[in-house]
Structure 1
Amino acid sequence: MTSRRPRVVLATRIYSPEPAAASFRLRALARALVESGAAVTVLTTTAPQAPAPEDPDPGVRIRRWPVLRDRTGYVRGYLQYLSFDVPLLLRLLFSTRPDVVVVEPPPTTGFVARLACVVRRVPYVYYAADVWSDAANSTGAPAPVVAAVRRVEGWVLRGARRVVAVTEEVAERTRALGARETVVVRNGIDTDVFRPDGPVPDGAPAGPYAIYAGTTSEWQGADVFVRAMATVAEAVPGATLVVLGQGSAWADLEAVARALPDGGACVRMLRPVPQAEAAAWLRGAAVALVSLRPGQGYDFAFPTKVLAGAASGTPVLYAGPGPARGVIEENGLGRAVAHDVDAVAEAMSDLLEAPADDGPRTRSAGWARTHASIAASAAEVARIAVAASRVPDHRLTAPTLGGVRPSPGLTEEHDA
């Protein structure tokens, strides 16, 4: 007898077309689940104004709900989270009963998902991109707040049938907080979009440029690159820093740029663009910039920006702590330095002045296709989700999105 299709719900405050690494990861997961034979519903938020509309994915039902957003357009902050989480509880309780729920952070979303899943006797999988209680502690939040977040996060992790962690470091922390079973699946990048061959942007600077492409927030510390331009602009005449994105630190970056000796003429601040256009900007750059500010609770993170640069064939300059340093250095993807203005300025100048060489670019993109495919990562998480469902006899078909089958190696390392 043929088993019925598993019904999978993705509960997430962020989803495509909102420009963020989590959006791309979750959209790839939804596609992989559909290709595996599952019926997929996404419970998410009303999308903010997007750079461009996207084609719908066949087989994926998206159910959106209006929420509060901060001044930068993100669902970030306790009131913003609650504006999604409270309605989510009712949406999970009164929708068609799923076989498994995949829950994206924050822990408050995990909290209401566990409540609904307990009532309806449905297993859930928690996606641990980071450990929120550790981050709260590192940023100096009041002790009662940290304790409350840790209790909520631990309760969510203990109740999950499976926890998917994006790094081994995150996995270790989830286990310490009580997770029953944690599987490491590193993040990936769409190597069909981010690749070394293809167009470059018409409006690119005439001289060599470095690019920071993606979200800017306090804990990422992208201001280190803007400050470094005071030195880089003298060492490499005509060099430009392009900051492409949005985020809570955007206004601060603009202020730092205006304070540069040239008044910020060497810095271009551009708002978000569609993925294909962002890939073109990365492809044309001399260096792709990535940063994490130490001591903010994200020292174990692996920014997806590293993968975007590598897949585009662009040397990566990483400033910060964590596992990204080893991956970059061991695989010849670029340079890793301390989150320090002088160290960044020296490395940035070297990379901007380096002659073009197709060999390293080709090898970098090849590494990304083999080890960092978003399709392979999504297929692995799809397997985990269906295996955790109430349909144990379902035989999951191996997805082959982008022509890539899941690689066992993707469950051995990390990303964030």
Structure 2
Amino acid sequence: MNRRLLALAAAGAGTALAAAALRARPRGGHPRVVLATRLYAPEPAAAALRLRGLARALAAAGAQVTVLTSTPPGMDTPADPGVTVRSAPALRDKSGYIRGYAQYLSFDIPLAARLLAGPAPNLIVAEPPPTTGAVVRVAAALRGAPYAYYAADVWSDAAASTGAPGWVVGALRCVEGLVLRGARTVLAVNDGVAERVRELGARAVTVVPNGIDTDVFTPAGPRAADAPAAPYFLYAGTASEWQGAGVFIEALRLVHREEPEARLVFLGQGSDWQVLKDLAGGDARVEFHDLVPAAQAATWQRGAVASVVSIRPGLGYDFAYPTKIFAALACGTPVVYAGPGPARTDLPANALGWASDYDVEQVAGAMLAALEAARAGDSQRAEAVQRRREWVMRHRSMLAALRDAAEVLLAEASVAD
């Protein structure tokens, strides 16, 4: 009997020691913040650029930042002072994107072990999907650290709007609610997302509007060597079903009645990529190029007549403000926007571009207006470029927004020190 008690005591002591080791963190010094995200620069996705901006803002504020991510094959992660990026392979779809439950799990399952290695962090920041958030919640509990969740949108609502089976939506909502309720703080990209995550159980929510890196996206700089010589419109970034970028291909056919040489360039990736190619039907005036790092995307923006951006209404993203808009404006390029949301008001109100319903004829009219505006004199065009750039610098600079986010997160990290 005594031997059994001794064995149980030894096992308990071993468990306690293991738990203590998981929670051990160096005292004093810089707070340690871990970012868990399947997407990170140089991947040309809005989330990847936003997370790099957040890592840099945290490091500039005095944190020691580690990013646990997956980098696309053939790309090198950027080197930023105070930021250590640790990349591991993950399953990707045919377009090279980590999208789909098998792809998410290929990142999330190894992430669990990666989060338990090394000294305990003062804070873990989780990027969607909610499955990643769930892994972070468990790891944070084991390590005795708080975690934050970056809510770019509400995944369960988006799944419901795209017709996913009820059991899938229910399961996703359960996981998402679990993640939101456990987070010490939630960063939401707009007021609409903030309101919804509060309804799902988030305790403390801070709105951090999407912005763009105005050091990368600038009017000055080279233009893409492979860009068409003819006037072209640019769709740069992810093309998925909720964006419905096919409206621009259909509109271009109407544009060609008056401007037969106009081109449309797609630069990126996404679940609708093949759908868009099929819709183009081999028309040489519609080009498709693979994703490129942000600095190269900027070279395409600078030469475009306008950047085209869309949101298909009624799919749960009506409140979204696509980062594609800010990337274009930061380069001085106007925007042709189709769909609902705040951009519908901002663009015409500030002479930043043209906005319309998600309607082929209206979109074609906006594209023709952009082609006409491109014929203005040099001084008029230069003035317009400057106006767009200044608007982004005042309202949507990523640096300013993420400085605020870093302050919120480091306040939470100090509690765990």
Does residue 260 of structure 2 align to residue 237 of structure 1?
yes
Residues 242 and 312 in structure 2, CA contact (< 8 A), matched pair in contact too: yes
SS at match of 2:227: coil
Q: Cα distance 1:202–1:66, how it changes in 2: closer, same or farther (>3 A)?
A: closer
The equivalent of 1:68 in structure 2 is 91
How many angstroms apart in 2 are the aligned matches of 1:179 and 1:48?
36
Distance 2:332 2:341 in 1: 22
Q: 1:112/1:203 Cα in 2 relative to 1: closer, same or farther (>3 Å)?
A: closer
Out of 390, 393, 398, the position equivalent to 1:366 is 390
CA drift at 1:287: 0.9
Map residues 1-20 of structure 1 onto 2, 5 A cutoff.
Answer: 3-20=28-45
| Counterpart pick for 2:333 among 300, 303, 314 | 314
Q: Which runs of 4+ in 1 moved over 6 A?
A: none
Counterpart selection for 2:294 from 271, 275, 284 = 275
CA contact (8 A) 1:6 1:391 kept: no
Corresponding residue SS for 2:241: coil
1:242 Cα deviation from its structure 2 partner: 1.2
Report if the CA contact (8 A) 2:160-2:169 is conserved: yes
Q: Deviations over 1:148-171 (max 9, x none)?
A: 111111111111111000011000
TM-aligned CA deviation for residue 59 of structure 1: 2.1
Q: Residue 22 in 1 paired to residue 41 in 2?
A: no
Deviations 1:293-320 (A, max 9, x none): 1122222211100101111111111111
Deviation at 1:221, TM superposition (A): 0.8
**Partners in 1 of 2:214 and 2:155 — Cα distance?**
29
Offset, 1:10: 0.1
Give the CA deviation at 1:204: 2.8
For residues 360-409 of structure 1, give each alpha carbon's deviation from its aligned partner in whole angstroms, at most 9, with x where no partner exists: 2211111111211121122122111111114478xxxxxxxxxxxxxxxx
**1:135 aligned partner, one-letter code:** A
Which AA in structure 1 matches 2:204?
Answer: E
Give the SS at the match of 1:234: coil
Q: Which of 295, 317, 325 is residue 298 of structure 1 equivalent to?
A: 317
Shifted more, 185-194 versus 58-67: the winner is 58-67
Matches within 5 A, 1:13-412: 13-50=38-75, 53=76, 55-258=78-281, 263-354=282-373, 355-356=375-376, 357-391=381-415
Query: Following the alignment from structure 2 to structure 1, what is the Cα–Cα distance between the partners of residues 265 and 102?
Result: 33
Distance apart, 1:144 and its partner CA: 1.5
Amino acid across the alignment from 2:266: V
Q: Is the 8 A contact 2:39 2:71 kept in 1?
A: no
1:201 is displaced (CA, Å) by 2.5
CA contact (8 A) 1:122 1:390 kept: no
CA distance in 1, matches of 2:78, 2:296: 16
Aligned residues: 386
- The separation in 1 between residues aligned to 2:104 and 2:295, in whole angstroms, is 30
Q: Tell me which moved more, 291-300 or 197-206.
A: 197-206
Counterpart of 2:24? Answer: none
- The 3-state SS of whatever aligns with 2:105 is helix
The letter for the 2-side match of 1:168 is D
Q: What's the TM-score once normalised by structure 2's chain length? A: 0.89
Amino acid corresponding to residue 271 of structure 1 in structure 2 = D
Counterparts of 1:105 and 1:54 in 2: how far apart (Å)? 20
Change in 2 beyond 3 A, CA 1:392/1:85: closer
Q: Which runs of 5+ in 1 are unaligned?
A: 394-416
Distance 1:346 1:154 in 2: 43
Residues 274/77 of structure 1: CA separation in 2 closer, same or farther (3 Å cut) = closer
TM-score (norm: length of structure 1):
0.89
Provide closer, same or farther for how the CA distance between residues 365 and 174 of structure 1 changes in structure 2, counting only shifts above 3 A: same
> Following TM superposition, by how much is the alpha carbon of 1:96 offset from its aligned partner in structure 2, in angstroms?
1.7
- Structure 2 vs 1, CA of residues 31 and 207 (structure 1 numbering), >3 Å: closer, same or farther? same
333-342 vs 165-174, which deviates more?
A: 333-342
Structure 1: how far apart are the matches of 2:197 and 2:406?
Answer: 20
Mean Cα deviation higher: 365-374 or 191-200:
191-200
Partner of 1:412: none
Cα separation, 1, equivalents of 2:220 and 2:70 = 35
Equivalent-residue separation in structure 2 for 1:55 and 1:144 (angstroms): 40
Cα distance in 1 for residues equivalent to 2:306 and 2:266: 12
Q: More deviation in 55-64 or 157-166?
A: 55-64
Deviation at 1:3, TM superposition (A): 4.5
- How far did residue 16 of structure 1 move? 1.4
CA displacement, residues 320-368 of structure 1 (integer Å, 9 cap, x when unaligned) = 1122212223322111111111111111111112233222221111111
Q: Is the 8 A contact 2:251 2:360 kept in 1?
A: yes
